[in-house]
Amino acid sequence: MKAPAYSVAKEGLPFILLSGFATLLCAILQYRWAAFAGLAVTAFVTYFFRDPERVLPEDSGVLVSPADGKVIRVEELHDDRFLHQDVLRISIFMNIFNVHVNRIPLAGTVRRVVLQPGRFYAADQDKAALHNEHCAVIVETAAGQQYAAVQIAGLIARRIICRAEPSDQVRTGERYGLIRFGSRVDVYLPKGSVAMVNVGQKVRAGETVLARC
């Protein structure tokens, strides 16, 4: 799996080109206010799909955040869907102003990719993790431990993009997908993992240390 070399995520290019073309057409036809509105939409869509470079932490053994956003949950629970064991779950909520490109939390081998259709509750609600459409990437690290990074659709976000495939060798901080127009990413870690973030903390994909396994 190769990381795309774009300052804007390639999945956003059709939206940017469409809104840009509509803006140009309105300008040519001298629909002044429509052209201004189109320019604003084009600017926002370009901003939404931005894909900045990130600097990984020097400690290669830590798990980094898969998403930009705010930590809304840090909790221990029993997971019977992905890892089938007691886990530490860390949930990150992305609003529409966050970077939406998702990154691999820790290097390893992709063992499974599970796409589950579902509903579209608000992503910050408890029932979103259970009932919303989601895509889980289960990765086995060099130490033989497994973790799951789960992209969860939300009330507005209706399109999950995951480029990871089973047997992929993935690197810490590597881009692997995105969720269009706001949502949430949950990370399920094996029991004994230590969270390095708190509820309410702002995190950055590929840079913020999320936990130690």
Tell me which residues are annotated as active site. 183
Distances (CA, A) of 120 to 11, 18, 30, 127, 129: 21, 26, 40, 10, 10
Give dist(CA 162, CA 177) in Å, integer. Answer: 4
Helices (H), the chain: 13-28, 32-48, 126-131
- Looking at residue 42, the DSSP 8-state letter turns out to be H
Sign of the alpha-carbon dihedral angle for 204, 2, 63, 124: positive
Residue indicated by tokens 């507005």: 156
